[in-house]
Chains A and B, each alone.
Chain A
Amino acid sequence: MKPFVDIHDVTHVYARAEDGVPAVQNLTIRINEGEFAAIVGPSGCGKSTLMKLATGLQFPREGTVIVDGKEVGAPVKLAGMAFQNPTMLPWRTTVDNILLPLEIVEPHRSRLRKHKAEYVAKAEGLLEQVGLKGQGHKYPWQLSGGMQQRASLCRALIHEPKLLMLDEPFGALDSFTREELWCVMRDLHAARKVTIILVTHDLREAAFLADRVFCMSARPGHIVAEREVTFPRPRDLEITYTPEFSELVHELRGHIAQARKAA
């Protein structure tokens, strides 16, 4: 398989960083097309920087970032993003929030006005997939936190991105809702074959969802360990209670503990 996201020997310092310490240093990571990659690490390890580099929101000071065969020199335009904070716009209904990316990305941008009904149907379809059927007319603030996060996933997927970036998207949810959304995410990935990079603090989440888990060191961040997750798909939530799963989580925890100690 060819790499879809290829970050090679990248060192990045933010222009605003006061101490001049790089956020990431000699970071190398390859993620294949259609793969579900999870990135875990101690806080402040540059996981969000990695997301910004892969989407072209930041450009590396040293090294190269190649996405979909092209070196990144501008925002990549083929990415969808979701964050811990659902960032829904309160003045738009849920459906209009989900349609927002289409108002930016071509060819949808110029088609949206004339083919509105078609796109609304598409948004409704996505809402159904994440378990929010018929809730599109509501305003985001009429939805619970978990429902807003589901809608935010729909917004990240509406323009059929080839790359989905998730920055701790379930971090603020209660554990039952979180596990429900893991399954939603698992099914979306299975249905769409989109490449997903999930940044998370939750090792169980990474182990349950990902094909490969990457552990990052403390700042300046780089990859210290890479672990293939071999549980067959489709995975059931029950696997999270098997000894093999616990062993994997324990192993990942060991890497993070070491990374924290090294800092």
Chain B
Amino acid sequence: MKTKNQLAAAPWVFTVGFFLLWELVCRAFKISSFILPAPSTILLAVWEYRSQLTYHALHTLWMTFAGFGLAVGFGLLLGMLLGSSRLINAGSYPLLVGFNSIPKVAVVPILVFWFGVGWVPPVLTAFLISFFPIVVNVATGIATVEPEMEDVLRALGASKKDIVFKIGVPRAMPYFFGSLKVAITLAYVGSVIGEQNASNVGIGNLLTRASAAFEVPLVWAALVVLAVLGVIMYAITAYAERSMTGWAQRSQMAA
């Protein structure tokens, strides 16, 4: 039981320790708050700008969820298609990998040409940056169905569709939820990039304006808010993963 409690406490101890160390270093070496503000300074800034930060953070959250939702729907569909057809898989992989290799920062200006400045570019950036891991993982889960299992059903006259939906899709769920943890943080990066370049609201936009005005504590406060929200969203997807696919997590490693 002792080790279980230790495991539960570890994230908090490590996090608090990290910030204490940071604070100590800043004070011991008298680092200027323009270069690296101490956590206490940042915390004060978070409190001071709380209404502004909340307003922009909610907007960013909304953009992220919209983009993430699109990525989940599109990723599942495309993953199912790729996983169930070797032809489509082989044909479209180079395209997908090529597209995924493009830095999405470079795509934002194009989105602005098409849709103007507003909520569309951040949502689409979040979508474009986060669908790839979902597609790859769902496709892998479906494509690796055991051949014996396939034989059992095919000998009964099951169609390809039966096999994909009865075995492939449920089997891909652990891969899918695993990929969501990656995708949610990516979507988040995507919406902030989109806001920095093509929006008048959101944490990304706040960051751009604060750094242009050399309001260093505000920049750091915004970064801290981003990090905290990221951890929360990751935790939500991790929770969803555990509750949906508990059957897949029974090894000692997952416990």
Task: List chain A positions with a Cβ less than 8 A from chain B.
Answer: 52, 55-57, 74-77, 79, 81, 83, 85, 87, 89-91, 100-101, 103-105, 139, 141, 155-156, 159, 165
Q: What are 7 A-B interface contacts by the 8 Å CB criterion?
A: A75-B156, A76-B155, A81-B151, A85-B148, A90-B247, A100-B166, A159-B156
**Which residues 142-179 of B have a CB within 8 angstroms of A?**
146, 148-149, 151-158, 162, 166-167, 170-171, 173
Which B residues lie within 8 Å of A76 (CB)?
155
- Shortest A4–chain B CB gap in Å is 16
Which A residues lie within 8 Å of B248 (CB)?
90-91
Distance, CA A193 to CA B204, complexed state (A): 72
Distance, CA A87 to CA B153, complexed state (A): 11
Which A residues lie within 8 Å of B153 (CB)?
100-101, 104
- Shortest A15–chain B CB gap in Å is 14
- A87/B148 contact (C-beta < 8 A), A100-B166, A104-B162, A139-B247 known: yes
Distance, CA A139 to CA B248, complexed state (A): 11
| B156 in contact with A79 (CB, 8 Å) | yes
Distance, CA A208 to CA B122, complexed state (A): 70
Q: List the A residue with the shortest CB-CB distance to B245.
A: A91
The size of the chain B interface, using a CB distance under 8 A, is 21
6 new A-B contacts, CB < 8 A, other than A81-B152, A87-B148, A101-B152, are: A55-B155, A57-B155, A79-B155, A79-B156, A101-B156, A104-B162
- Shortest B119–chain A CB gap in Å is 38
Distance, CA A14 to CA B171, complexed state (A): 28
Distance, CA A101 to CA B247, complexed state (A): 21
Contact partner of A89 (CB less than 8 A), chosen from B155, B156, B167, is B167
Q: Which 4 A-B pairs have the closest CB atoms?
A: A77-B157, A55-B155, A104-B156, A104-B158
Task: List chain B positions with a Cβ less than 8 A from chain A.
Answer: 146, 148-149, 151-158, 162, 166-167, 170-171, 173, 245, 247-248, 250
| A87 in contact with B156 (CB, 8 Å) | no
The B contact surface, by secondary structure, is helix
Distance, CA A89 to CA B152, complexed state (A): 12
| A81 in contact with B167 (CB, 8 Å) | no
Which A residues lie within 8 Å of B152 (CB)?
81, 83, 87, 101, 155-156
- Shortest B182–chain A CB gap in Å is 22
| A87 in contact with B157 (CB, 8 Å) | no
Q: List the B residue with the shortest CB-CB distance to A139.
A: B247
Distance, CA A85 to CA B167, complexed state (A): 16
Which B residues lie within 8 Å of A139 (CB)?
247
| B151 in contact with A57 (CB, 8 Å) | yes
| A81 in contact with B170 (CB, 8 Å) | no
Q: List the B residue with the shortest CB-CB distance to A105.
A: B156
Distance, CA A77 to CA B156, complexed state (A): 4
| A83 in contact with B148 (CB, 8 Å) | yes
- Shortest B252–chain A CB gap in Å is 14
Which B residues lie within 8 Å of A85 (CB)?
146, 148
Distance, CA A55 to CA B157, complexed state (A): 10
Contact partner of A103 (CB less than 8 A), chosen from B148, B151, B166, is B166
Q: List the A residue with the shortest CB-CB distance to B156.
A: A104
- Shortest B144–chain A CB gap in Å is 13
- Shortest A154–chain B CB gap in Å is 13
